[in-house]
Amino acid sequence: MRIDIISVVPELLESPFNHSMLKRAQEKGLVEIVVHNLHDYASNKYKQVDDYAFGGGAGMVLMIEPIEKCIQALKAQRPYDEIIYTSPDGQLLDQPMANALSLMGNLIILCGHYKGVDERVRQHLVTREISIGNYVLTGGELAAAVIADSVVRLLPEVLSDETSALTDSFQDGLVAPPVYTRPAEYRGLKVPDVLLSGHAQKIEDWRHEQALKRTRERRPGN
């Protein structure tokens, strides 16, 4: 898989992709993540990529020209399955969406910034808009990192135990059940006996019941 990310502030993405699982996935050749500086596609000597909104109002808007140039340059090199724009009013990212994106080959993620992008970008250049929540961030770089992380961890061989991703919260529509580790008792706080029983079916039934209970409590609308 290849993920190309278009950003006004590419430095914001250095840390998320240079540590932990995302770093290992790239070193193994399982994913290639390339961050592009939108300023490199500006047409004037000041490398300007934003301007005031027609009609007035506070805030700057990302211009269509540098975005279109960058996307076309990338598409000239390879086909892309999705061109994603990170936006607060996009479709909310969830596990089924991450699963679907993980099956694709090449993705572009355009990071929103300032007051957003020229509407013509949204209407004619991107294929999908994704939000990571009903709130506003300074820019879409953090959202792009979240999307990439949620997708890359699902790729074969990224996790040391591939079955781990299959038992994540929301894979089956439920949040994950409680988990415990050593010691079995700590300052009077004990691990549930069933988890120490060695009875696989009883443990599985307990975990399912706990997942149902947590989902009812924490995601009552699900």
192 & 83 share domain? no
Please say whether the beta carbons of 86 and 112 come within 8 A: yes
49 & 146 share domain? yes
Q: Which candidate, 182, 125, 101, 104, places its Cα nearest to that of 6?
A: 125
> pTM of the full predicted structure?
0.87
Last-in-domain residue among 127, 152, 177? 152
Number of structural domains (the chain) is 2
Label residue 85 exposed, middle or buried (CB < 10 Å: 0-12, 13-18, 19+): buried
Tokens of 65: 């020209």
CATH of residue 26: 3.40.1280.10
121 & 183 share domain? no
Euclidean distance between CA atoms 15 and 139, whole angstroms: 16
Domain that holds residue 57: 2-152
41 & 136 share domain? yes
Residue 37 β-bridge partners: 7
| φ, ψ for residue 123, nearest 5 deg | -80, -30
59 & 139 share domain? yes
Residue 161 lies in a domain: no
Q: What pLDDT, on a 0 to 100 scale, did the predictor assign at position 214?
A: 93
Q: What pLDDT, on a 0 to 100 scale, did the predictor assign at position 94?
A: 95
Q: Tens digit of pLDDT per residue, the chain (222 long)?
A: 999 999 999 999 999 999 999 999 999 999 999 999 999 999 988 999 999 999 988 889 999 999 999 999 999 999 999 999 999 999 999 999 999 999 999 999 999 988 899 999 999 999 999 999 999 999 999 999 999 999 999 999 997 655 555 555 456 678 888 999 999 999 999 999 999 999 999 999 999 999 999 999 998 876
Q: What pLDDT, on a 0 to 100 scale, did the predictor assign at position 28?
A: 94
45 & 123 share domain? yes
